[in-house]
Chain A
Amino acid sequence: AQSVTQLGSHVSVSEGALVLLRCNYSSSVPPYLFWYVQYPNQGLQLLLKYTSAATLVKGINGFEAEFKKSETSFHLTKPSAHMSDAAEYFCAVSGDDYKLSFGAGTTVTVRA
């Protein structure tokens, strides 16, 4: 079975500052890893995904994530936060099966 743990349920950053959201995974097989974003009162949408190609994955809206097998991590970063980045962010993992398992989510607030 696969699972993810998101460290920090809430992150507050200043506009223009670095955004860093942490995700660690557990998987008995090579994992597929994802970051999804949920804006208020909306469904989730894909930010980026890792599928065993490049370990540094670039996504939409200036986000990127790095897969580190030795640390079982898939942290999400954005160099400069924008007010529009305020949302809920979910890390997710899937193995060689039909399920996508989500972490508990991290709420990002951006201070002006």
Chain B
Amino acid sequence: DTAVSQTPKYLVTQMGNDKSIKCEQNLGHDTMYWYKQDSKKFLKIMFSYNNKELIINETVPNRFSPKSPDKAHLNLHINSLELGDSAVYFCASSQVLRAGTGELFFGEGSRLTVL
């Protein structure tokens, strides 16, 4: 039973399209995150939510819009996809709000390729 699950695992699409990635966690955690991992494996935080409330909103183009319908789900919608959006997107969750005091549990990632 996967703790943090993301769908789809692979996504190939054309520039200009809109796509969504879904994330669900069954750990009972209050905090969820989206991270972007680029081709050089550098991980950068994009967003975090705590119990459906937006906590972190990094400098991310407003084409990216997170949505948290409940504390177990955090989805990522991307409008007007660009080549530079190609990356692996990781969802993660944590039991605590302050990142330093807890452990992040990661999903397996969603590899987005924009052609």
Interface residue ranges, A against B (CB under 8 Å):
31-32, 36, 38, 41-46, 49, 51, 88, 90, 94-102, 104-105, 107
Contact = CB atoms under 8 A, between A and B. Distances in A.
Chain B, interface residues (CB within 8 Å), range: 20 to 34
A100 B104 contact: yes
A90 B107 CA distance: 16
Contacts of A49: 103
A100 B104 CA distance: 9
Contacts of A99: 45, 48, 56, 99
A95 B90 contact: no
21 contacts: A31-B100, A43-B90, A43-B106, A43-B109, A44-B43, A44-B92, A44-B106, A51-B100, A51-B101, A88-B41, A94-B99, A98-B48, A98-B55, A99-B48, A99-B99, A100-B45, A100-B100, A102-B42, A102-B44, A104-B42, A105-B41
A44 B104 contact: yes
Interface string B18-49: 00000000000000000000001111110010
A42 B90 CA distance: 10
Given A100-B100, A104-B42, A105-B42, 10 more contacts: A32-B100, A43-B90, A43-B92, A43-B109, A44-B90, A51-B100, A96-B98, A100-B99, A104-B40, A104-B41
Nearest to A100: B99
Given A43-B90, A105-B41, A105-B42, A98 B97 contact: yes
